[in-house]
Structure 1
Amino acid sequence: MKAFRISFVFLSLVSSAAFAADADISLTNDSAKGQINFFGATSDMQLGAGYTYQESNHRIDNVHVGNLDFHAQGRTAVGNLPTTAGLGFRAIGWDTDRLDGGAVGLGGFATVNIPDAPGLSFTGGLHYAPSILAFGDSEDMTSLELRANYRVIRNAEIFAGYRYLNTDLENRRDINLDEGVIVGMKLFF
Structure 2
Amino acid sequence: MLLIFTTASTTSIASDLTVTLSNKSAGIDITPLPPSSQIHTEIGYLRHENSRHLYHADLHAQGQTVIANLPATTGLGFRTMVFDEKNVDGISAGFGGFINLNIPEVPGLSVAGSLHIAPSILSFSDLSGYQWIDLKSRYRVIQNADLLVGYRYVHSGLEEMDNRTIESSFYVGLRYLF
Q: Report the TM-score, using the length of structure 1 for normalisation.
A: 0.89
Whether the aligned pair in 2 keeps the contact of 1:54 and 1:63 (CA below 8 Å) is yes
Q: Deviation at 1:15? A: 3.5
Out of 67, 74, 77, the position equivalent to 1:78 is: 67
**How far 1:121 sits from its partner (Å)?**
0.2
4+ residue segments displaced more than 4 Å: 8-12
Q: Does 1:93 align with 2:87?
A: no
Partner residue of 1:141 out of 109, 130, 136: 130
Q: How many residues align?
A: 178
C-alpha displacement at 1:171, in angstroms?
A: 2.6
Deviations 1:102-142 (A, max 9, x none): 21110000100000000000010000001111111111100
Q: Structure 2 stretches of 5 or more lacking a match?
A: none
Equivalent residue, structure 2, for 1:181: 170
Which residue of 1 is the match for residue 32 of structure 2? 38
One of 19, 26, 48 as aligned partner of 1:25: 19
**Alignment root-mean-square deviation, CA:** 1.6
Normalized per residue, the structure richer in strand is 2
The CA distance in 2 between the partners of 1:102 and 1:28, in whole Å, is: 24
Q: Could you tell me how far apart the structure 2 residues matched to 1:166 and 1:15 are? A: 31
* Whole-angstrom distance in 1 between the partners of 2:111 and 2:150: 9
Please identify, of 149-158 and 15-24, the stretch whose mean Cα deviation from structure 2 is larger: 15-24
The answer to whether structure 1 residue 114 and structure 2 residue 103 are counterparts is: yes
Tell me by how many angstroms 1:13 deviates: 3.6
Structure 1 unpaired stretches of 5+ = 57-61
